[in-house]
Amino acid sequence: MGAAAVGFGGGGLLVGHRIAEADDGTGSVPFYGEHQAGIGTAAQDRLHVAAFDLLSEDPAELRELMRLWTVAAAEASAGEMVGSVNDVPLAPPEDTGETVGLLPSRLTVTFGFGPSLFEKPGLGLAGKRPPALRPLPALPGDELDPSESDGDICVQACSDDPQVAFHAIRNLARIGRGVVAMRWSQLGFGRTASTSRSQDTPRNLMGMKDGTANIRAEDSEDMERFVWVGGDGPAWMRGGTYMVTRRIRMLLEVWDRASLQDQERTIGRHKYSGAPLGRHDEFDPLPLDRHRNGHPVIPVDAHVRLASAKENDGARILRRGYSFTDGVDESLGELEAGLFFISFQRHPEQFVAIQRRLGSLDALNEYIKHVGSALFAVPPGAAPGGYVGEALLA
């Protein structure tokens, strides 16, 4: 409801958000399209992501939920208020109102379906489950908390304004009340990867540039090859992708006691420039075969070596991570903080293979713990009048 309307008692002139198209973090990103937004979109600054469990096994209820969520997500993405009943005195407003007057701030809302959704007999989806959508295997070093993992449906809201991202999750949760229950949610305050060549590489909470070697949306060949599902998936997943989320707790006090040299050798990059060890520019290729005094310049257990495409049979993933902090870890008396890792890939195995190597060998393991994990099948985008997941659920 973007139009002005006369409010109750003469006091409230109802004004939706202004919609701007400027590329300064205030404009709107189209919701409808071939792919869902929030994957190839240049990574916004803030994240609010939530996983929901379905309380119903009625396929009609799930269809109606996705239909309502699609409409609401499209309204919010356009900078409009959700719903149409927002100025009726005796009814609760359909939109909760905290973004009135704010700009769309490049909000994207991205939906995914977890493996558990396909295991509910009443929904009858078992036959449509892609072989790729199995729960992630146990991975070396996992210390997962089930209450921070998995979920039937995931909603990722990204925006340059955290209040706009929060508003999207909250209003979808409200629309879903009685049909879904929120299982976990995470606020990310700072992005830790770039997904567009227009963006500088940000720093994570270890103070290191993060995501230098990420796929960029402009690399359409890499997007097709590594991110978007093609003829290999079921028809309802064509143009979709698989989303992995990992809540990675950083042991910052341990990291902070490591010397600069140890930090740089752990990652394999210089801290301030982001250049690979032994190189000068952030975007110089990794000198993986170079030695000095008989030792590899990039240590054998350095994070960038083990995560590199070269050491992973060419496999790459599209990362979209965010820094988080959730107060104090009372057992340690220190900040509970880290990286909420999100990656999109054509097949979950791309992530699994990389993480299996990292989990076993990565020097970084001394400083991190994977405490949450989830996998979702992200269907392609919807067309106006349709809804996300329609080809699966209809």
Residues 197-256, interacting with a copy of itself (CB under 8 A): 200, 203-208, 252-253, 256
Among 31, 69, 118, 184, binds a copy of itself (CB under 8 A): 184
Nearest approach in angstroms of CB 77 to a copy of itself is 19
CB closer to a copy of itself out of 9 and 385: 9
Stretch that binds a copy of itself, among 32-40, 107-115, 328-336, 386-394 (CB under 8 A): 328-336
Under 8 Å CB-to-CB from 336, ≥6 apart: which residues? 249, 325, 326, 327, 328, 329
What residues between 73 and 112 interact with a copy of itself by CB under 8 A? 86-93, 95-101
Does 310 sit near a copy of itself (CB under 8 A)?
A: no
Identity of the residue, 232 or 283, whose beta carbon is nearer to a copy of itself in the bound complex: 283
Inter-residue long-range contacts of 115-119, CB under 8 Å, 24+ positions, other chains counted: 115/150, 115/375, 116/53, 116/150, 116/151, 116/152, 117/54, 117/152, 117/153
- When binding is defined by CB under 8 A, the residue of 22, 121, 257, 385 that contacts a copy of itself is 257
Interaction pattern, residues 23-62, with a copy of itself; x per rule: CB under 8 A: -----------------------x-x-x------------
132-151 binders of a copy of itself (CB under 8 A): 147
Residue 128 vs 203, nearer CB to a copy of itself: 203
Query: Smallest gap, in angstroms, from Cβ of residue 23 to a copy of itself?
Result: 16
Out of 27, 59, 190, 296, which residue is the one contacting a copy of itself (CB under 8 A)?
A: 190
With contacts defined by CB under 8 A, how many residues of the chain interact with a copy of itself?
84
CB nearer to a copy of itself: give 88 or 126.
Answer: 88
Name which of 198 and 261 has its Cβ closer to a copy of itself. 261
**Interatomic CA distance for residues 381 and 180, integer angstroms:** 22
Residue labelled with tokens 């996992």: 142
Contacts with a copy of itself in 155-174 (CB under 8 A)? 161-163, 166, 169-170, 173-174
Pick one of 108, 156, 214, 263: the residue that binds a copy of itself (CB under 8 A). 263
Cα three-residue angle 86-90-91, rounded to 5 degrees: 45
CB distance 374 to 244 below 8 Å: yes
Take residue 203 and report the two structure tokens written for it.
């720093």
Closest to a copy of itself by CB, 11 vs 127, is 11
Binding residues among 276-305 for a copy of itself as defined by CB under 8 A: 276-280
Q: What is the dihedral of CA 231, 232, 238, 244, to 10 degrees?
A: -160
SS3 state of residue 334: strand
Query: Least distance (Å) from a copy of itself to the CB of residue 109?
Result: 16
Distances (CA, A) of 369 to 96, 98, 195, 229, 336: 36, 35, 25, 30, 11
d(CA 344, CA 112): 11
- Provide the minimum distance between the beta carbon of 75 and a copy of itself in the complex, in angstroms, as a whole number: 15
Residue 56 vs 96, nearer CB to a copy of itself: 96
Cα 292 to Cα 275: distance, rounded to the nearest angstrom: 17
Q: From residue 366, give the alpha-carbon distance in Å to each of 158, 254, 268, 352, 362.
A: 30, 8, 15, 20, 8
Contact 75/109 with Cβ under 8 angstroms? no
Q: Pick from 182, 213, 251, 353: which binds a copy of itself (CB under 8 A)?
A: 182
